[in-house]
Amino acid sequence: MFFFLRAHIDIIIGSWLNMPDMQKKIKVFDTTLRDGEQTPGVAFTLEKKLELAHALSDIGVDIIEAGFPINSEDEFRAVKQISSEADTKVCGLARALISDIDACLKADVDLVHTFISTSPQHLKYQMMKSEEEVCEMAVAAVEYIVDHGLPCLFSPMDATRSDLGYLVKVCKAVEEAGAGTINIPDTVGVIYPTEMKELIGKLRKEIHVDLDIHCHNDFGMAVANTLAAVEAGCNQVQTTVNGLGERAGNADMAQVVMGLHVLYGVKTNIKTEKIYPLSKLVERLSGIRLMPNFPIVGDNAFAHESGIHVHAVLKKAETFEPINPEMVGARRRLVLGKHVGIHGVAAKLKELDIAVDSEQLREITSKVKDLGGKGKKVFEEDLIAIAEDILGMVPQAERKIVLIDLELQSKINKKPVASIILKVDGVEKNAKEDGVGPVDAVLNAIKSAVGREEILVEEYHLDAITGGSDALADVTIRVGDGRRTVMARGVHEDIVMASVIAFINGLNRLLRLG
Ligand code: KIV
Ligand code: ZN
Looking at 346, 367, 391, which one is the last position of a domain? 391
Asked whether the predicted pLDDT for residue 362 surpasses 80, the reply is yes
Asked whether the predicted pLDDT for residue 171 surpasses 70, the reply is yes
Residue 279, pLDDT score: 97
Count CB neighbours of 398 within 10 A.
11
In a domain, 344, yes or no: yes
In a domain, 233, yes or no: yes
- Examine the domain organization and report whether 254 and 163 are in the same domain: yes
In a domain, 72, yes or no: yes
Nearest CA to ligand 1 atom 1: 187
In a domain, 62, yes or no: yes
Which atom, in ligand 1's list, is nearest to the CA of 35?
8
| Angle CA 250–111–176, to nearest 5 | 95
Residues with CB under 5 A from ligand 2 (ion): 35
- Examine the domain organization and report whether 361 and 448 are in the same domain: no
Percent of the chain with pLDDT over 90: 72
Percent of the chain with pLDDT over 70: 93
- Examine the domain organization and report whether 157 and 249 are in the same domain: yes
> Span 38-53, mean pLDDT?
96
- Examine the domain organization and report whether 256 and 356 are in the same domain: no
Residue 93, pLDDT score: 98
| Angle CA 482–484–489, to nearest 5 | 110
Q: Of residues 112 and 473, which shows the higher confidence score?
A: 112
Q: Of residues 110 and 481, which shows the higher confidence score?
A: 110
Asked whether the predicted pLDDT for residue 10 surpasses 60, the reply is no
Amino acid identity, residue 329? G
Mean pLDDT: which of 9-23, 251-265, 394-408 is highest?
251-265
Looking at 359, 376, 391, which one is the last position of a domain? 391
Looking at 365, 391, 417, which one is the last position of a domain? 391
pLDDT in tens, 414-473: 999 999 999 998 899 999 999 999 999 999 999 999 998 888 898 888 876 555 666 667
Q: Of residues 370 and 222, which shows the higher confidence score?
A: 222
In a domain, 152, yes or no: yes
CA dihedral (76, 77, 78, 79) positive or negative = positive
- Examine the domain organization and report whether 119 and 170 are in the same domain: yes
Pocket test for ligand 1, best of 33, 95, 97, 187 (most atoms within 8 A of CB): 187
- Residue 5's pLDDT band (cuts 50, 70, 90): very low
- Examine the domain organization and report whether 243 and 168 are in the same domain: yes
Please give the Cα distance from 367 to 178 (Å, whole number): 69
Residue ranges in 316-415 assigned as alpha helix (H): 342-351, 358-373, 380-391, 395-398
Contact status, residue 267 vs residue 28, Cβ threshold 8 Å: no
- Examine the domain organization and report whether 169 and 261 are in the same domain: yes
Contact status, residue 112 vs residue 154, Cβ threshold 8 Å: no
Which atom, in ligand 1's list, is nearest to the CA of 31?
8
Domain that holds residue 382: 305-312+331-391
Nearest CA to ligand 1 atom 3: 187
Contact status, residue 189 vs residue 219, Cβ threshold 8 Å: yes
Please give the Cα distance from 418 to 397 (Å, whole number): 26
Residue 441, pLDDT score: 95
- Examine the domain organization and report whether 444 and 496 are in the same domain: yes
How close is the Cα of 67 to the center of ligand 2, in Å? Answer: 12
Mean pLDDT across the chain: 91
Asked whether the predicted pLDDT for residue 12 surpasses 90, the reply is no
In a domain, 16, yes or no: no
How close is the Cα of 215 to the center of ligand 2, in Å? Answer: 7
How close is the Cα of 158 to the center of ligand 2, in Å? Answer: 9
Please give the Cα distance from 432 to 169 (Å, whole number): 72
- Residue 7's pLDDT band (cuts 50, 70, 90): very low
Q: Which residues pair with 457 in a beta bridge?
A: 479
b/e map 259-282, b = 16+ CB within 10 Å = bbbbebbbebebebebbbbbbbbb
> Span 10-35, mean pLDDT?
75
- Examine the domain organization and report whether 153 and 205 are in the same domain: yes
Identify which ligand lies nearest to the alpha carbon of 156.
1
- Examine the domain organization and report whether 236 and 117 are in the same domain: yes
In a domain, 465, yes or no: yes
How close is the Cα of 109 to the center of ligand 1, in Å? Answer: 19
**DSSP secondary structure of 19-45:** STT--SB-EEEE-TTTTGGGSTT----
- Examine the domain organization and report whether 206 and 100 are in the same domain: yes
Q: What is the CATH number of the domain that holds 170?
A: 3.20.20.70
Pocket test for ligand 1, best of 214, 217, 240, 247 (most atoms within 8 A of CB): 214
Residue 244, pLDDT score: 98
Which atom, in ligand 1's list, is nearest to the CA of 115?
6
How close is the Cα of 446 to the center of ligand 1, in Å? Answer: 49
Task: Count structural domains, the chain.
Answer: 3
How close is the Cα of 53 to the center of ligand 1, in Å? Answer: 20
- Residue 292's pLDDT band (cuts 50, 70, 90): very high
Model's pTM, two decimal places? Answer: 0.78
Residues at CB less than 6 angstroms from ligand 1: 35, 115, 155, 157, 185, 187, 214, 216
Q: What is the CATH number of the domain that holds 466?
A: 3.30.160.270
Which atom, in ligand 1's list, is nearest to the CA of 159?
3
- Residue 6's pLDDT band (cuts 50, 70, 90): very low
Residue 501, pLDDT score: 87
Asked whether the predicted pLDDT for residue 394 surpasses 50, the reply is no
Residue 395, pLDDT score: 54
How close is the Cα of 250 to the center of ligand 2, in Å? Answer: 7
In a domain, 455, yes or no: yes
- Examine the domain organization and report whether 371 and 267 are in the same domain: no
